[in-house]
Every structure is written in structure tokens, then in C-alpha cells.
Amino acid sequence: MENSERTRREFLSGAGKVFGVAWIAAHWPAIAAAHAHAAAAAAEGGPTALAFFAEADARDVDAIAAQIIPSDETPGAREAGALYFIDRSLHTWLAPGAEGFRGGLREFQTQFMAAHGGPFAAADDTAQRTYLTSIDQSAFFLSVRALTLIGLFALPQYGGNRDGIGWRLIGFEDQGAFAPPFGYYDRDYPGFKLP
């Protein structure tokens, strides 16, 4: 019985990963559009209109993303425009689950306010980190974390990872893997280009 239970768990875990990859592939055009919006918003430098978040909510989500990938010797989530990517995502390709995200954010804000007497974005770094550590397995935190990472490490052509910030953080150098001479089948290959 123990072996069959383990096999069933392994199957469910593997199926979840396959379905997750398939879901991302099916939503890739919308994810790319959200990246482009984030890049444009970050490049403008000034205040950008948000489609999903109210101003106070945006400050809290931005502060959470900044704690997930902080700015120190290198730029972090703020400089990469993670807030604008998350905002655009919840307004477009994640719209079916956006109200669940909003409910999680409200619960997060209410609990933080009760414990600390003020909004998350106004708290000091220590209070923010301590609180996030206490909820790091919650569905809300995991969704903010996932969206922050998607916005940070994707191809810059899609608008995330502005100026290659995410790639520099992990030491990735964007180099072509192929070098001439090419064969007859790929001699005219121009390289990756957006449609």
C-alpha cells in the first residue's frame, strides 16, 4: 500500500507540473503583453496609471515584491518594474483569478494592520521581512512571489527583466548557442525575433 500511495503522489505531482507548463504555454501571448506593459511603465519613469490596483494596494504589492527581490548592490524587483507586470497580469491573462488575489491582498493587509498598526508599505524592512517569513507558505504570498519571478527572469523582448536585471542577478549571459558555419537548413536563420 505504501508503494502505491507514493506512486500516486508522484503521478499527481508530475501531472501538476505538466499542467502548469501547459497552462503557461497557453497563456504566453497574454504574459508577453504584460511584460511589454511593465517595460513601458518602467521606462517612462514617471507615475503610470495602474489598471488593477488602487494606489495603497500598489504600494503594498510593490513593497512585497521589493522584499522578495530587494535592491542592494544590484537592482531588484522595483527597478525591473515588477509591480507594473503584476498589475497588468491581473488585469489581462490572470483576470479570472484576480478577485481571489484581491481577497488575499485584503486579508494580508488586515492581518498586517492588526499586528503592526499601519500599512505594510510604511513598515520598516525588519517588520516587513518578519511578517513575510511568517506567511511565506500562504497562497497569496506564493502568487506574488511567482508573478515577481516571472516578471524578473523572462526575455527582455517581452518587457520583463528590464535591462537584463534578472539575468545579471543569476549570472546568466545572453549568448547565442550556435555559431557559423551553418548547414543548408539554417544558413538563413536570422535568430530569435518577436512576431
Q: Note whether residue 153 is domain-resident.
A: yes
Residue 186 has pLDDT above 90, yes or no: no
- The total of structural domains in the chain comes to 1
Q: Which residues form the domain of 40?
A: 28-169
pTM for the predicted model, two decimal places: 0.68
Q: Could you tell me if residue 36 is inside a domain?
A: yes
Q: What is the DSSP annotation of 62-124?
A: HHHHHHHS--SSS--HHHHTHHHHHHHHHHTTTGGGHHHHHHHHHHHHHHHHHHHSS-GGGS-
Q: Is the residue at 15 inside a domain?
A: no
Query: Stretch 93-115: mean pLDDT, rounded?
Result: 94
pLDDT digits (tens, 9 = 90+) for 34-80: 666 666 665 665 556 788 999 999 999 999 999 999 988 888 888 88
pLDDT digits (tens, 9 = 90+) for 119-139: 999 999 999 999 999 999 999
Q: Are 108 and 100 in contact (CB under 8 A)?
A: no
On the question of pLDDT at 1 being above 50, the answer is: no
What is residue 55's predicted lDDT score, i.e. its pLDDT?
A: 94
